[in-house]
Amino acid sequence: MRRPPRTAIFPVGGLGTRFLPATKAMPKEMLPVVDKPLIQYAVEEARASGIEEFIFVTGRGKTAIEDHFDHGAELSNALSARGKEAELRAVQDMMLEPGQVAYIRQQEPLGLGHAVWCARRLIRGDEAVAVLLADDLVMAKEPCLKQMIDAYVTVGGNMAAVMDVPREETNRYGILDVVGEEGKLTAAKGLVEKPAPEAAPSTLSIIGRYILDPSVFVELDRQEAGAGGEIQLTDAIARTIGREPFHGLRFDGRRFDCGNKAGFLEANIAFALARDDLREDMTAILGRYAKACQSGEDALAK
């Protein structure tokens, strides 16, 4: 049995241009789904999967993320004085322990591979490391990363969470060149970053969850640009295939692409409907809007 990863990297240095002007002064990872920011969902998934150390690769204008996971004595005191115990617990429970968190700056937006490479000196060189992208929000009974770790300790190598996408969308993802499947695990002989639909070796795409063998960092040291002129993480993983196995895990759960507006809005609806305190109100609201759309009426007039 292999040792499970204990460290996770969260690349959070992106500009979030798809959500301007909301992200002009606020990191896109701080956009809330119901009442928690995207980055908190990612951190909670990692904690629930056994991760002990958290590395945030940030950029300019990302200090709100650091503040979010820091202690706020003034807020805690105010909540306590006002008897807001539930709110106080919600704030306290999300805090990470002293020494568990590190922040490092990605000084140039050179791609996901570059962001992960920036954290190389903060990880144990002989252990696998997890990577979570907050844009990909996964609703699952068992955390997506936990499912991956359970599989990783058996097969080792490199691993990514995967799902099938429409062929016309392969140019948005890293796509697996599949050689075999066993249950939920898919073995691959290669990876292609954002291939044209007609050139894609499959429709099995990577989402923002990885477990990386240390050998990937040796490949990232080459700093070779790939698709879009960026240093691609999938290119580095692909170059290790043959020396290390690579598997995609078809995870149980629902992934929401919160890197685009429609996916972000759907995530808010889905997570609200999953909550006992919001389900009834949300069902009524959605029903009202659906009825208005079907009849051609103005829902705002109701």
What is the pLDDT averaged over residues 220-228?
82
Does residue 79 carry a pLDDT above 90? no
Contacts of residue 196, defined as CB under 8 A and 6 or more positions apart, other chains included, come to 170, 171
- Summarised one tens digit per residue, pLDDT across range 106-118 is 888 888 999 999 9
Contacts of residue 128, defined as CB under 8 A and 6 or more positions apart, other chains included, come to 2, 3, 4, 5, 152, 211, 212, 213, 214
Contacts of residue 114, defined as CB under 8 A and 6 or more positions apart, other chains included, come to 106, 108, 220, 223, 230, 231
The pLDDT value given to residue 277: 95
The pLDDT value given to residue 302: 53
| 263 neighbors 139 (Cβ within 8 angstroms) | no
Mean pLDDT of the chain: 90
Query: What's domain 7-259's superfamily in CATH?
Result: Spore Coat Polysaccharide Biosynthesis Protein SpsA; Chain A (3.90.550.10)
Residue pointed to by tokens 């809005």 = 265
| 141 neighbors 109 (Cβ within 8 angstroms) | no
The pLDDT value given to residue 300: 58
Side chain identity, residue 48: A
Strand partners, 129: 212
Nearest to 129 by CA among 116, 142, 138, 140: 116
Annotated domain spans of the chain: 7-259, 260-295
Q: What pTM does this model have?
A: 0.92
The pLDDT value given to residue 99: 84
Quick one: how far is CA 282 from the chain centroid? Answer: 26
What is the pLDDT averaged over residues 49-53?
95
Residue pointed to by tokens 């929401």 = 256
- Using 50, 70 and 90 to split pLDDT, how confident is the model at 44? very high
Lowest mean per-residue pLDDT among 4-18, 185-199, 236-250, 286-300: 286-300
Strand partners, 244: 241
Strand partners, 64: none
Distance CA 77, CA 238 (A): 51
The pLDDT value given to residue 207: 93
| 258 neighbors 16 (Cβ within 8 angstroms) | no
Secondary structure in 3-state letters for 30-97? HCEECCEEHHHHHHHHHHHCCCCEEEEEECCCCHHHHHHCCCCHHHHHHHHHCCCHHHHHHHHHCCCC
- Summarised one tens digit per residue, pLDDT across range 100-149 is 999 999 888 888 999 999 999 998 878 999 999 999 999 999 999 999 99
DSSP state of 13: -
Q: Return the higher-pLDDT residue of 269 and 126.
A: 269
